[in-house]
């Protein structure tokens, strides 16, 4: 059983989500399917998929115009939220420190944070991939994890680029993440791979050791692209 999480980013409409829920209604799968959608689409009901947000505030409430707290996300019935996605890190200056606070807020609200880590092209070329991944895991995860978390390895240079690392690179990154999680007492935490996942590579990627599922951007927007990913593995 794998976790198949979609990230719609700033795309789609409530109607698109209703249509996606309908299209997934009769899919036979034991996998957990999660869709992380814009805030405005949370609250659309579905029996077979869980919804999540793509970010939460570090704050619980107060004078933070435009922010949405983890409690507010939980109030819609959503169960998950992404935190620390590379686009948040890149365009909003989010650091591991901020991501850790957001993950802690999510946990306090009863949400499962999907905590993203991964290296940029510059970091990869400087030979820093492993260092960035390990510090990302150690610094982005709260000290007292009281609840369930998910980690996503997303090589930032590969997102939306149609590029994927080699199987060996994915295996090495996921082994390091699993070992680091074990070292901090979080053995068994699911680790997803994300970046340019599609129907044609999903099964292969999820056959790599320590890959417990995928986080899918572009290919999660349409049922014709997303369903083959969900059904590619048992």
Q: Which residues are catalytic?
A: 85, 154
Q: Give dist(CA 130, CA 110) in Å, integer.
A: 31
Q: Which of 77, 153, 67, 165 is nearest to 115 (CA)?
A: 153
Q: Are 152 and 140 in contact (CB under 8 A)?
A: no
Judged by beta carbon, residue 42 or residue 219, the one nearer ligand PGA is 219
- 162 annotated to bind ligand: no
Stretch that binds ligand PGA, among 97-105, 143-151, 176-184, 215-223 (CB under 6 A): 215-223
* Per-residue interface string for the shown chain with ligand PGA, residues 135-154, x marking contact by CB under 6 A: -------------------x
Minimal distance in Å, beta carbon 82 to ligand PGA? 8
Bridge partners of residue 135, in order along the sequence: none
Q: Give dist(CA 40, CA 194) in Å, integer.
A: 24
Judged by beta carbon, residue 60 or residue 225, the one nearer ligand PGA is 225
Give the DSSP H/E element, type plus range, for residue 74.
helix 70-75
Total interface residues for ligand PGA by CB under 6 A? 13
The residue sitting closest to ligand PGA, measured at its beta carbon, is 217
User: Among residues 33, 100, 218, 233, which is the contact residue for ligand PGA, using CB under 6 A?
Assistant: 218
Map 14-53 to HEC letters: HHHHHHHHHHHCCCCCCCEEEEECCHHHCCCCCCCCEEEE
* Per-residue interface string for the shown chain with ligand PGA, residues 6-25, x marking contact by CB under 6 A: -x------------------
Q: Give dist(CA 3, CA 206) in Å, integer.
A: 10
Decide if residue 197 touches ligand PGA (CB under 6 A): yes
Binding-site ranges for ligand PGA (CB under 6 A): 7, 154, 159-160, 194-197, 215-219
């Amino acid at each position: 059983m794998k976790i198949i999480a979609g990230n719609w980013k700033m795309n789609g409409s409530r109607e698109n989500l209703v249509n996606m829920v309908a299209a997934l209604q009769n899919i036979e799968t034991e996998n957990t399917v999660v869709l992380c959608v814009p805030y405005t689409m949370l609250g659309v009901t579905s029996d077979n998929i869980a919804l999540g947000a793509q970010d939460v505030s570090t704050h619980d409430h107060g004078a933070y115009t435009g922010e949405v707290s983890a409690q507010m996300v939980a109030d819609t019935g959503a169960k998950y939220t992404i935190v620390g996605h590379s686009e948040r890190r890149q365009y909003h200056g989010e650091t591991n420190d901020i991501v850790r606070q957001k993950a802690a807020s999510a946990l306090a609200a009863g949400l499962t944070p999907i905590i993203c880590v991964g290296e940029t092209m510059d970091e990869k070329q400087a030979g820093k991939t492993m260092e960035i991944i390990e510090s990302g895991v150690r610094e982005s995860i709260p000290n007292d994890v009281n609840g369930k978390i998910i980690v996503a390895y997303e090589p930032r240079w590969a997102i939306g680029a149609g590029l994927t690392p080699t199987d060996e690179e994915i295996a090495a990154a996921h082994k390091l993440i699993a070992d680091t999680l074990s070292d901090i007492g979080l053995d068994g935490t699911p680790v997803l791979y994300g970046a340019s996942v599609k129907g044609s590579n999903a099964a292969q990627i999820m056959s790599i050791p320590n890959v417990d599922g995928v986080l899918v951007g572009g290919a999660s927007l349409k049922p014709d692209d997303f369903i083959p990913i969900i059904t590619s593995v048992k």
